[in-house]
Structure 1
Amino acid sequence: MRQFDVYPNPSVRSREAAPYVVVLQSHFLAATPTTVVAPLLIDDDRSAYSEASVKIVFGGERYVLSIPELAGIEPSRLGRRSGAVTEYDYEIRRALDRLFTGF
């Protein structure tokens, strides 16, 4: 499991609006009992979007990576990797900075 890998959302309750989650935590912290993820919301032009969010195209579909909704989850709940969004590295790191530092 590497940073910016994408997995199916394990939450049945939120899967309709957020079919995937993105790993935000560095793979260098693999020994921790949880990993930090954020949901990929379907971009329906009504999804919550802020300066701490990132518009992403994944699998040919438009999503919003909602970083303010990050959560810790046990890696065993994530299932099989669906892909990665490493091409959005800069935008994701910038949104994380906005969330934690305000800049």
Structure 2
Amino acid sequence: MAQFDVYRNPSKKTDKAYPFLVDVQNSVIDQLVTRLVVPLTTSNTKNSFYMKKLTPEIEFEGTTYLFLAQQLSSIPEDVLNERIGSLEQSRELLIDAIDFAITGI
């Protein structure tokens, strides 16, 4: 598993609203059995979640998604079994969103 890998959301309850999860955990703590993930949602879902710095728009598989940094959560590593891509090219933007969620800067 690598930081910024994208996985299909394995949850049948939430996969329609949040089809993908982005692994944001650094490899320095790979020994944990959990991963820190941030969901992606379609960008046409512009509601109270939409704040450009907190929820940047990300292009993935030809569709625009919002990266919902405020929904950072931990899930068991073994449920992330279908890696379908990477957002490594958007690393700075994603880290800025997480930093904004935590520090407000």
Interval of TM-score (by shorter of Structure 1 and Structure 2):
over 0.9
Moved over 2 A (4+): 45-48
The count of corresponding residues between Structure 1 and Structure 2 is 103
- Distance (whole Å) between structure 2 residues aligned to residue 28 and residue 68 of structure 1: 22
After superposition, where does 1:58-97 map in structure 2 within 5 Å? 58-97=60-99
Letter of the structure 2 residue corresponding to residue 33 of structure 1: V
Q: CA deviation at 1:45?
A: 4.8
- Distance (whole Å) between structure 2 residues aligned to residue 38 and residue 10 of structure 1: 13
- Distance (whole Å) between structure 1 residues aligned to residue 102 and residue 45 of structure 2: 25
Q: Which residue of 1 aligns with 2:30?
A: 30
Q: Percent identity?
A: 30
- Distance (whole Å) between structure 2 residues aligned to residue 41 and residue 57 of structure 1: 11
Structure 2: 5+ residue runs without aligned partners? none
Q: What TM-score results when the alignment is normalised by the length of structure 2?
A: 0.92
After superposition, where does 1:1-16 map in structure 2 within 5 Å? 1-16=1-16
